[in-house]
Amino acid sequence: MSSNSNECNAYIIKSILANNEFGILEVNGIEVLSSRYFLKNQYAEIVTMIRNGDTKAIKSLAGNSSTQREYLDVLIFRDQTGTKYIVTVYDSDDLLQYPQVIEIFKLDVGVVG
């Protein structure tokens, strides 16, 4: 993430809790699976990996290079019941604010990795 990591994580956690799509009351053990430049044409492939629960593939994504100053972070966490989720987060050097949550994905029990 391009800003202070602790501040960004705190903001992302607030965004996850505010979303409340899955009844998440706590965000525990949040960690970065992948951090890369945001390229719109690659996002669908990453979402497919997430929906398949393939955290190993996400972790092994090769770094990419771009002249863009936009970033995509993929983070994993557990809620108050221990259920795992993955969240995608967009950031840009042009944003005068903290990173923005794109989507939250609830992982099925049979998650790879």
In a domain, 112, yes or no: no
In a domain, 99, yes or no: yes
Q: In whole angstroms, how far apart are CA 44 and each of 38, 39, 51, 61, 108?
A: 11, 10, 10, 14, 19
In a domain, 53, yes or no: yes
**Tens digit of pLDDT for each residue in 5-63?**
788 889 999 999 998 889 999 999 999 999 888 888 888 999 999 999 898 888 887 66
Separation of alpha carbons 62 and 29, rounded Å: 24
In a domain, 20, yes or no: yes
Domain that holds residue 16: 5-106
Sign of the torsion angle spanned by Cα atoms 36, 39, 83, 8:
positive
HEC assignment per residue over 28-97: EEEEEEEEEECCHHHHHHHHHHHHCCEHHHHHCCCCCCCCCCEEEEEEEEECCCCCEEEEEEEEECCCCC
Q: How many domains does the chain divide into?
A: 1
In a domain, 111, yes or no: no
In a domain, 10, yes or no: yes
pLDDT (0 to 100) of residue 2: 43
In a domain, 62, yes or no: yes
In a domain, 113, yes or no: no
Confidence bin at 3 (pLDDT 50/70/90): very low
